[in-house]
Amino acid sequence: MIKKETMKIISINVIAKETVEMVLQNEYISENAAPGQFLHISVSGCTLRRPLSIAAVNRTAMTVTILFKIIGKGTKRLSEYVEGETVDVLGPAGNGFPLKNLSKKDKVLLIGGGIGVPPLYFLGCTLKELGYDVQAVIGFQSKDFVFYEERFKKLGETIVVTNDGSYGEKGFVTDMVDKITSFDRYYSCGPAPMLKAVTNTFQDKEGYLSFEERMGCGIGACYACIIPTNDGSNYKKICQDGPVFRAEEVSL
């Protein structure tokens, strides 16, 4: 259940260009967080909360890690917080990645782009703990933006892609189709054009997409986050119904 909680900042570090890793402590959120869920964070000086995915959880230390790219006022201000300060958070928010109906012999592919990579790390750790075979393709703009490569490699075979070829493979995540060994289900998170390309490329596979598009109220009231659907219901709200959807459920 989502709750309003205070989280203490345990550490804050720049881990790649314009990319910040923040570790926050709170017993309730760390105990209840599931992969694909996010924190809706109140940032000082900003009226609206900012949604940021849960990238990792340490239940023993009661910590939750978020990774964010500085793109505007809210993320810039959040990057200026220091250890020991607290943030007001609504969480764990949203419907996470479904894990049901996976069989132990199934191979899972994680496909992440940029700020879509963080929730897939928490998912990958969880799948690995449960004994699944995990592969990952993670894409970034260029070498300077790459993060968590080593961590993903500890989970399973990982391909790093950069748009400009300055690190790893050159191109887009979907260009790596030939290099990916067989898999049964994919989970993907990243910008909408990437999710569209992923859906088109893997039409014959069972897939789940997580959307990180702009949100407004975050509680289903403003319609800022709607996404068209294919199931006759016209649209869904990312904040209330998502952020994770079955690939065939949404129209991109």
146: left (phi over 0), alpha (psi -120 to 50) or beta: beta
**Residue 218 interaction partner, one of ligand FAD, ligand FES, none, beta carbon < 5-8 Å per kind:** ligand FES
Amino acid of residue 68: F
**Residue 223 interaction partner, one of ligand FAD, ligand FES, none, beta carbon < 5-8 Å per kind:** ligand FES
Q: Does 29 bind ligand FAD (CB under 6 A)?
A: no
Q: Give the sign of the dihedral formed by CA 210, CA 213, CA 217, CA 223.
A: negative
Q: Does 217 bind ligand FES (CB under 6 A)?
A: yes
Q: Check if the beta carbon of residue 137 is closer than 8 Å to that of residue 110.
A: yes
Sole binder of ligand FAD in the list 149, 157, 184, 213 (CB under 6 A)? 213
Instruction: Give the contact letters, 119-158, x = binds to ligand FAD (CB under 6 A), - = no.
Output: ----------------------------------------
Q: Does 38 bind ligand FAD (CB under 6 A)?
A: yes
* CA distances (Å), origin 59, targets 29, 142, 168, 188, 218: 9, 33, 33, 25, 26
CA atoms within 13 Å, Cβ hemisphere of 189: 30
**Residue 52 interaction partner, one of ligand FES, ligand FAD, none, beta carbon < 5-8 Å per kind:** ligand FAD
Which listed range, 73-81, 111-119, 202-210, 222-230, lies at the site for ligand FES (CB under 6 A)? 222-230
Q: Check if the beta carbon of residue 38 is closer than 8 Å to that of residue 123.
A: no
Query: How many whole angstroms separate alpha carbon 66 and alpha carbon 22?
Result: 5
Sole binder of ligand FES in the list 215, 227, 244, 250 (CB under 6 A)? 215
Sole binder of ligand FES in the list 62, 90, 239, 247 (CB under 6 A)? 239
**Residue 115 interaction partner, one of ligand FAD, ligand FES, none, beta carbon < 5-8 Å per kind:** ligand FAD
| Shortest Cβ 239–ligand FES spacing (Å) | 3
Query: How many whole angstroms separate alpha carbon 164 and alpha carbon 166?
Result: 6
Three-state DSSP class for 103?
coil
Interface residues with ligand FAD (CB under 6 A) are 38, 50-53, 67-69, 71-75, 115, 118, 212-215, 243
